[in-house]
Amino acid sequence: MKIQKILDIFAVLMVCVALYFAFIFAPSEKVMGAIQRIFYFHVSSAWIAFFAFFVTFVFSILFLIKQNYLFDDIAESSAEIGILFCTIVLITGPIWAKPAWGVWWTWDPRLTTTTILWFIYAGYLMLRKFIDEPDKRARFASAVGIIGFIDVPIVFFSIRWWRTIHPNVVQEGGGGLHPDMTKALLISVFAFTVLYAALLLKRTHIASLTRKIDSLEG
């Protein structure tokens, strides 16, 4: 597992670099002040959550076509990591919202659809726990992994489709971001992508080891 260790160290290093860019390199936002700096890891977490659920979607389809349990292991692992990053989004969002909007929470379309996304994949993981038979579990979970992904584009486009107070930074021209802020954001997204890869490799290894133990124990 040399690759795993290299990836772990690289992920930790990249997160440290991302912290430097978020706290020191990026300039202070004039209106919001220090709290704006939470944006770099908040947005990166949201992108990784979307990407993780996309991986679950792709590997759920692959499992249904090929019936290879490795694909099911990857889908499950990615969904679990996606939930972790989605949880970070749902916690850091209100921490930013309180000083910026004056309230912890509002039923804004972006916030509401993100909460629904969290519940969909929490349901996906619960479903996996409730079904004992491996083949049935993998098939049912794959169906949820495919259908549940419908909410990801809804979350992404919610700020364009409906009236919302959520800031839109992913748009033509960078949403008015200072170039150094854009650099800090891109570094954070890259750091979180490396972290995601490290976590996925480790978590998929757990899933395959568990499968091996089940087969050895009969």
Partner 1 sequence: MQSFNYLFAGYTVIFVLLGFYFVSIGSKVSDLEKRVDALTEED
Residues near partner 1, by CB under 8 A: 32-35, 37-38, 41-42, 45, 84, 87-88, 91-92, 95-96, 98-99, 195, 199, 202-203, 205-206, 209-210, 212-213, 216-217
Structure tokens at 146: 């495919």
Shortest spacing between CB 174 and partner 1, in angstroms: 22
Q: Which is nearer to partner 1, 159 or 200 (CB)?
A: 200
Orientation angle between helical segments 69-101 and 39-66, nearest 10 degrees: 160
Q: Which is nearer to partner 1, 80 or 151 (CB)?
A: 80
Q: Which is nearer to partner 1, 1 or 147 (CB)?
A: 1
CB 145 within 8 A of CB 127: no
CA–CA distance, 185 with 169 (Å, rounded to integer): 10
Shortest spacing between CB 129 and partner 1, in angstroms: 16
CB 72 within 8 A of CB 145: no
Considering only CA atoms, which of 76, 95, 89 is closest in space to residue 117?
Answer: 89
Shortest spacing between CB 95 and partner 1, in angstroms: 4
CB 58 within 8 A of CB 74: no
Q: Which is nearer to partner 1, 87 or 115 (CB)?
A: 87
CB 169 within 8 A of CB 42: no
Shortest spacing between CB 201 and partner 1, in angstroms: 10
Q: Which is nearer to partner 1, 118 or 140 (CB)?
A: 118
Q: Quote helix, strand, coil % in the chain, to nearest 5.
A: 85, 0, 15
Shortest spacing between CB 124 and partner 1, in angstroms: 17
Structure tokens at 37: 């700096």
